[in-house]
Amino acid sequence: MASGIVSVGASLLHQHLLSDITLVVTEVAFVMLVVAYAARAISFPDRMRQALRNPATAMGYFTLVAGTNVLAARLLMAGHPLVTLILGAAASVLWLLLSYGLPWSIMFAARRPVLGDINGTWLIWVVATQSVAIVAAGLAATSPWPVLRDNLPIVAVVLWGVGIMLYLTLIVIIFLRLFLVEITPKEMGPAYWIAMGATAISVRAAAGILAVRHPASAVLLADMHPVLVGLSVILWSFGTWWIPLLVLFGLWRYLLCHYPMAYEPRLWSVVFPLGMYTVASLSLGRAGGFGFMVAVARAWVWVGVAAWAAVMLAMSVALARALSGHTRGRPPSPVRSAEGDEHRLSSNN
């Protein structure tokens, strides 16, 4: 997700070499993660079922949907509509299964109050939903197949609306959790950046719908235009408001509480929102004629690139140290538990 969205942003701003490099990283990471998840499902089915019932970890599986659709959207930009359709269809089926299966599994399997386990990871549900809307709108705008051009705009609008309502619902619950449940430095981690990323991808989805130009959808899109633009500006503003607050959360965690500044897979959940903020600002700025958003995107893209490079370097160093310890006969020290935090957002890279 992180590498893919950096590639999308770089491509939109005509940084083609950077976009191609991060696209290759995205494709390699995608293949590796597909193999890893398949191996995990086959070798450790009990652990996977347990994770799917755990409110603290279950929503992390929505990264499978979002990551697939980010790659699909980037490949559509590269001129591969058939591959995009296949990836988008697979992600849509998975979204349906998770959207109805996970809430049911959590509610009926939980034997304790769920509020204490809700965190920023739950907003990946919103990210996954809007990612399906983005791919649907993208195919509707560029597809050579009439059946997709006629029907996918409706799918995109409906899913965008579902994503908006999910965000409004979940963000209220998360704010209540922050005020009602004690927050520890370990828990107040990078996953809360998804609160900003969810607004950004919702803005990007709306901009994608605004870009659809097809007679069959003209009435629907004309009626929705004020809502899409107005609500997107509100979401963009709210996402921008989140950024200083999230920085303060990080300062509290690392400087005041002295939480170790070491690599953890959840750091990728910071990179994705930063990259998505660039794409959202640029897309809405161009679609709505907001020049200041385009200017923000042109500067902000380098924030996302710097974050991507820093986390990639930290991951490489951590991997090298782990392999070095293994070759000396010492088992590498786990960064965090296999079933807990390490699983949540590992597919964000």
pTM of the model: 0.88
Question: Would the pLDDT of 233 be above 90?
Answer: yes
- Residues 172-215 have pLDDT tens digits of 988 888 887 778 888 788 888 999 999 999 999 999 999 888 77
Average pLDDT over residues 317-337: 67
Question: CA 161 from chain center: how many Å?
Answer: 17
Q: For residue 328, what pLDDT band results from cuts at 50, 70 and 90? A: low
How many Å separate Cα 211 from the centre of its chain? 21
The mean predicted confidence, pLDDT, of the chain is 87
Is pLDDT above 70 for 56?
yes
pLDDT surpassing 50 at residue 60: yes
Q: Of 220, 331, 202, give the one whose Cα is nearest residue 276.
A: 202
In the three-class reduction of DSSP (H, G, I as helix; E, B as strand; rest coil), residue 257 is classed as coil
- Is residue 311 scored above 50 in pLDDT? yes
Quick: pLDDT tens for 94-122. Answer: 999 999 988 887 777 655 566 667 788 89
Domains recognised in the chain with CATH numbers: 2-348 (1.50.10.150)
Report whether pLDDT(70) > 80: yes
Query: What CA–CA distances, in Å, run from 210 to 116, 135, 156, 203, 217?
Result: 39, 13, 11, 11, 11
Banded pLDDT at 304 (limits 50, 70, 90): very high
- Assess whether pLDDT exceeds 50 at residue 74: yes
CB neighbours of 198 closer than 8 A, spacing ≥ 6?
Answer: 123, 126, 127, 130, 167, 171
pLDDT computed for residue 179 by the predictor: 81
% the chain with pLDDT above 70: 91
